[in-house]
Amino acid sequence: MDALLPVPTPLLEARHLVREYRVGGAFTRRRQVLRAVDNVSLQVFAGETLGIVGESGCGKSTLGRCLLRLDDPTGGEVLFENRDITRLGERALRPLRRRMQMVFQDSYSSLNPRRRVGDLIAEPLRVHPAPEGSSRTAAAIRARVEELAELVGLSAAALSRYPHQFSGGQRQRINIARALALSPALVVADEPVSALDVSVQAQVVNLFADLQERLGLTYVFIAHDLSVVRQIANRVAVMYLGAVVEMGDADAVLHSPAHPYSAALVSAVPEPVVGLPDRRTVLTGDVPSPVSPPSGCRFHTRCPAMRPVCRSEAPKLRPLGGEFRSVACHFPLTAA
């Protein structure tokens, strides 16, 4: 009998993660609770890219910030390199910051406009102590900054310029270089190409893929554009109203979605072939308020295949064939 292969330990794991906000005040009689992330569990393994997709306001960015402890979760746990970081104090968390970094959506507001690009990329090197056996002399920092600039496709001359002197795509390259300064294991990219032109999007996505191959990086890639996620993700988690409704291998989810919401997202991706019949699934109604989500399945108010049980009973995320494939739907499409 063949020996069972060991199950790999995830680099990053979220267990029943919850993030709530108190909303209301001046124009309402009482404050309410908005659950931006609702009982999310997921795993990210070393060397892979997990894409997180969904409409604007579904909780993707909040989830990404909670995974890195930029926002403190209200409940649940986050484990990084098999260590619970959920309730670590800032002093205990600081050494781990080197190992996990973020690339933000707005490439301009995430850069200090009064500082030169070289100083911005060098800042993490000056803030964090040097690893044992290396130095942080001015010459060593300069050499590292020039190495990072070359790595992301910027010239050494660009280091003396200011952020406003660059295009959006170039500024995002600066942000990527700064995120890589401390040689992290994990990078969370929050809508990193959504504000860029289509041609520039392709360049930046290709840069992410090239850096992953060269440096062995692990990504959590947040996006609302499935055509972008399709290019880079190994696995995909689909979010709706704060919860994950489907998760699995990227090819399986994007070519054979099991949840009606995933199917609607996939059908909205433009086809590059002229003359094909329009097969889009058009969802009716608006996204419900996360302050007062619907009873039962949170998607039932917009679902074209809704049945009575969907109004009363909330489906759990459960396995659906294949490794790591799961769906939160009473009547998954692949079983129809």
Write the single-letter amino acid at 269.
Answer: V
Using the 3D structure, point to which of 149, 183, 217 is the last residue of a domain: 183
Q: What is the pLDDT of residue 249?
A: 93
Please report whether residue 6 resides in a domain: no
The answer on 311 and 171 residing in a single domain is no
Q: Is residue 2, in this structure, part of any structural domain at all?
A: no
| Mean pLDDT calculated for residue range 153-177 | 94
Is the pLDDT assigned to residue 134 strictly greater than 60? yes
pLDDT of 185 strictly over 70 = yes
- Could you tell me if residue 243 is inside a domain? yes
Question: Using an 8 Å Cβ cutoff, are 88 and 169 in contact?
Answer: no
Tokens of 115: 């500082």
Residue 104 lies in a domain: no
Instruction: Give the list of residues 6+ apart from residue 271 with CB closer than 8 angstroms, or none.
Output: none
Q: Check whether 308 has a pLDDT greater than 80.
A: yes
3 pLDDT more than 60: no
91 and 198 assigned to the same domain:
yes
- Please give the pLDDT value at position 279: 66
Average pLDDT over residues 95-124: 93
Segment 55-63 mean pLDDT:
92
**pLDDT grade for 120, boundaries at 50, 70 and 90:** very high
pLDDT over 70 (residue 28): no
Q: Residue 4: pLDDT above 60?
A: no
Q: Does residue 276 carry a pLDDT above 80?
A: no
Q: What is the mean pLDDT of the chain?
A: 89
User: Are 70 and 157 within one domain?
Assistant: no
- CA 331/CA 308 separation, integer angstroms: 12
Q: Please check whether residues 301 and 204 belong to one and the same domain.
A: yes
Label residue 272 by pLDDT band (50, 70, 90): low
Residues 329 and 231 in one domain: yes
Together in a domain, 265 and 303: yes
Work out the average pLDDT over 172-186.
95
Tens digit of each residue's pLDDT (9 = 90 or more) over 256-267 = 999 999 999 998
pLDDT category at 130 given cuts 50, 70, 90 is confident
Tally of domains within the chain = 2
- 10 Å CB burial of residue 29 (0-12, 13-18, 19+) is exposed
- Domain assignment present for residue 171? The answer is yes
- Whether pLDDT at 103 is above 70: yes
pLDDT (average), residues 237-244: 95
User: Nearest Cα to 215, choosing from 173, 177, 185, 179?
Assistant: 185
Pair 177, 193 in one domain: no
- Mean pLDDT is lowest, of 46-60, 260-274, 320-334, for 260-274
pLDDT in the model for residue 1 = 43
Report the CATH number that the domain containing residue 229 is assigned in CATH: 3.40.50.300
Task: Return the closest-CA partner of residue 121 out of 185, 170, 64.
Answer: 170
Q: Which two tokens mark 71?
A: 């926002």
179, 200: one domain: no
Q: Mean pLDDT over residues 222-235, rounded?
A: 91
Average pLDDT over residues 12-31: 83
| Residue 216 counted as domain residue | yes
The beta strand positions in the chain, using DSSP E, are 12-23, 32-44, 49-53, 75-80, 83-84, 100-103, 186-190, 218-223, 235-240, 243-249, 318-319, 326-327
> Residue 264 falls within a domain, yes or no?
yes
* 291 shares its domain with 327: yes
Residues 227 and 302 in one domain: yes
Q: Are residues 53 and 137 in the same domain?
A: no
Three-state secondary-structure class, residue 27: coil
Among 130, 150, 183, residue at a domain's last position: 183
Residue 282's Cα: distance from chain center in Å? 25
Q: Are residues 198 and 307 in the same domain?
A: yes
| Residue 82 DSSP class | T
- Residue range of the domain that includes 172: 112-183
| pLDDT-based confidence at residue 273 (cuts at 50, 70, 90) | low
In a domain, 268, yes or no: yes
**Residues 14/82/80/243 CA torsion (nearest 10 deg):** -10
